[in-house]
Structure 1
Amino acid sequence: MSQHSPERIDVHLTQIRLEADDVASYEFRPVAGGPALPVFEAGAHIDLYLPENRVRSYSLVNDPQERHRYVVAVQREAAGRGGSAWMHRVPRVGERFTISAPKNDFPLCESARESLFICGGIGITPVVAMIRRLERIGASWRLHYAVRECSRAAYADDLAQLDNADSRVEMYFQNEDRRPDVRGIVDRAPAGTHLYCCGPRGMVDDFIAACAGRPQDEVHFERFAAANDAASEGGFEVVLHRDGRRIAVAPGKTILDTLLDHGVDVQYACSSGVCGTCRVGVIDGVPDHRDDFLSADEKAGNGAIMVCCSGSLSPTLVLDL
């Protein structure tokens, strides 16, 4: 592998910092003598390649003006597949990592009359970069930021240091019974405001419903997890087209669980059907699509499946593996 390519970039981990309870940030810089990192836009993320063929996607939180470093934040997830726990336990400053070039599925509209953000928990991470960019260009913005308690509010101190933060940042702490009125916030937003939401499923669902009557090119959201529960009913077989193996998917297991249990080499990241990393081609059969990555047309065509969360409506599903 080359040191620096359009797809994969070798970097050094240069700093680890605790940002809040169970949230740590990681700064990556180019290896010595390497070129500057690719330019990124606010809202972008990178894929981080971890051991055991794991890939995890993390939003970039630093100022998009910077090309000498990338910074991501990782929240420890006790119920996850081990990526966040590994990141909190194993990496040490000075170690070498491989990352992808930045990708952006959650872009910022810099020409908006005003930008209004509604965030929950670790959903603040892409918005921090957006706010840094809006501050740099002198654009108007407001933030509604909900967390379980003050100690879990990553980047709250950084935001509090911005000019007029008291009038532009509103915090909500669940342990104080304060939750954002998403519909009320959306309804009060002036015409021409671009609205953004990143957070847990319930918050994003409420946001989408509240924005139904607004121009959809002014509505932006990013999910942590698909809107539907993962298909874990089992009761069907997957056939690996390239080697002919037939593998039964048992009740309580996803296709991804089953493939990993049988040593099948398949990449995955979010495990929630939102990032697209685990996309696999479908040769035959009818998938039960549960993801939020494929378009409606792609789902209707049944040519691909997100194996982390989707299942099968047919007794057999032939995968391009």
Structure 2
Amino acid sequence: MTLRGAPGETEMELSLARKETVAEGVVRLTLRRPDSGPVPSWEPGAHIDVTVAPGLVRQYSLCGDPADRSALQVAVLREPAGRGGSRAVHDDLAEGDVLPIRGPRNNFRLRPAGRYLFVAGGIGITPLIPMIAAVQAGEADWRLVYGGRSRDSMAFRTELCHAYGDRVTVCPQDETGLLDLDSLLTEPLPGTAVYCCGPAALLAAVEARCAAWPAGSLHVERFTPVQDPGLRTTFEISLASSGRTLTVTSEHSILETLEEAGVAVLSSCREGTCGTCETAVLAGEPEHRDSLLTEEERAACDTMMICVSRSRSSRLVLDL
């Protein structure tokens, strides 16, 4: 089993070589090594952690060309109601700034399929761009349906339409309304993989309509955590490497409990959306509250995101 947040991930500093506006409220950052060396390799669907300001670490999908080892590219939407990361990117970062990054990490891998349907909402287009390029290069059948508030707010719209023609359907909400998901998804299409990224409401709507599709057809990436079910019980965790046993109270997460006990673990989003803190489970039954694991991965009970997930059993044994 390969853990998404396994130790040994690349940590390095990259220079902001270019910052450019690519749509209304969206900037693209091109990051290069100060010594002009190659950046880490990555595959479509991957993201990186970027320290955009002291204490502000954010995850951004890579939207460039995986074959281009000279730079990494991400696009960032300004979110006025956010927690400050996008404001720091838009208002404070300048070309020449050096930014610590970690990764790449891939929670949204492109799987082999007979055909592909890509559904993007707003800035959710970013991880789909390199996927589409890979699928096109492999000569697979595919289609993109791309929704957004308006044409001006839809990053990379012009480039996608120019490169791929009628494979791309652009649906600005102020012109066409919400995406017509009923006609798009109500009838299951055998052999089709659906990849969707965008706002939580879009993901929920797509999930509902794909409920009758064959298992494993739908692949989503979330920018926001799933709703916390609320009930939090007390349980124990045992650390396999040391034999230590710690009590996780209802007021604390596993991650917080480990940190308070002086156990060093990698973490980033603390919301169950990035995968940095993924930890192997050797015994016990996790209660998954993350936004990443598939139903098959959850049923296996061999890994969990310790920043948000808890335990159904009275004790968990973790590979720590």
Give the TM bin, normalised by the shorter chain: 0.7 to 0.9
Of the three residues 226, 229, 248, the one matched with 2:227 is 229
Aligned to 2:91: 89
Tell me, what secondary structure is at the counterpart of 1:145? strand
Aligned to 1:178: 177
Q: 1:198 to 1:163 in 2, by over 3 A?
A: closer
Q: 1:39 to 1:189 in 2, by over 3 A?
A: farther
Deviation per CA, 1:181-207: give whole Å up to 9, x if none.
223212356421211111122221222
8 Å CA contact 1:29–1:69 kept in 2: the answer is yes
Output the amino acid matched with 1:179: L
Deviation per CA, 1:150-188: give whole Å up to 9, x if none.
2211111111211423x5323241x33511122321235
8 Å CA contact 2:161–2:168 kept in 1: the answer is no
Output the amino acid matched with 2:50: L
Tell me, what secondary structure is at the counterpart of 2:75? strand
Q: How does 1:119-198 map to 2 (within 5 A)?
A: 119-165=120-166, 167-173=167-173, 175-176=174-175, 178-188=177-187, 190-198=189-197
Aligned to 1:213: 212
CA–CA distance in structure 1, aligned partners of residues 122 and 218 of structure 2: 20
Of the three residues 21, 24, 37, the one matched with 1:21 is 24
Of the three residues 32, 41, 61, the one matched with 2:35 is 32
CA–CA distance in structure 2, aligned partners of residues 297 and 168 of structure 1: 31
Tell me, what secondary structure is at the counterpart of 1:213? coil
8 Å CA contact 1:230–1:308 kept in 2: the answer is no
Aligned to 1:262: none
CA–CA distance in structure 2, aligned partners of residues 169 and 303 of structure 1: 40
Report the RMSD for the aligned CA atoms in angstroms: 4.3
Q: 1:155 to 1:210 in 2, by over 3 A?
A: same
8 Å CA contact 1:273–1:308 kept in 2: the answer is yes
Output the amino acid matched with 1:27: T
**Percent pairwise identity:** 34
8 Å CA contact 1:63–1:133 kept in 2: the answer is no
Deviation per CA, 1:30-60: give whole Å up to 9, x if none.
22153x2232111111111343333211111
Runs of 5+ consecutive residues of structure 2 not aligned to the other structure? 1-7, 235-248, 257-263, 313-320
Of the three residues 65, 74, 77, the one matched with 1:75 is 77
CA–CA distance in structure 2, aligned partners of residues 305 and 52 of structure 1: 28
**Paired residues, what number?**
310
Q: 1:215 to 1:288 in 2, by over 3 A?
A: closer
Q: 1:164 to 1:300 in 2, by over 3 A?
A: closer
Q: How does 1:44-55 map to 2 (within 5 A)?
A: 44-55=46-57
Q: 1:281 to 1:215 in 2, by over 3 A?
A: closer
8 Å CA contact 1:186–1:211 kept in 2: the answer is yes
Q: How does 1:267-282 map to 2 (within 5 A)?
A: 269-270=268-269, 272-277=271-276
CA–CA distance in structure 2, aligned partners of residues 148 and 64 of structure 1: 29
Deviation of 1:307 after TM superposition, in Å, equals 7.7
Deviation per CA, 1:59-106: give whole Å up to 9, x if none.
111122221111001111222221111111111112222222322111
CA–CA distance in structure 2, aligned partners of residues 186 and 145 of structure 1: 14
Tell me, what secondary structure is at the counterpart of 1:68? coil
CA–CA distance in structure 1, aligned partners of residues 287 and 169 of structure 2: 41
CA–CA distance in structure 2, aligned partners of residues 77 and 267 of structure 1: 26
Of the three residues 99, 105, 108, the one matched with 2:107 is 105
8 Å CA contact 2:39–2:69 kept in 1: the answer is yes
| TM-score normalised over the length of structure 1 | 0.73
8 Å CA contact 1:183–1:206 kept in 2: the answer is no
| TM-score normalised over the length of structure 2 | 0.74
Of the three residues 45, 66, 69, the one matched with 2:68 is 66
Q: 1:216 to 1:268 in 2, by over 3 A?
A: same
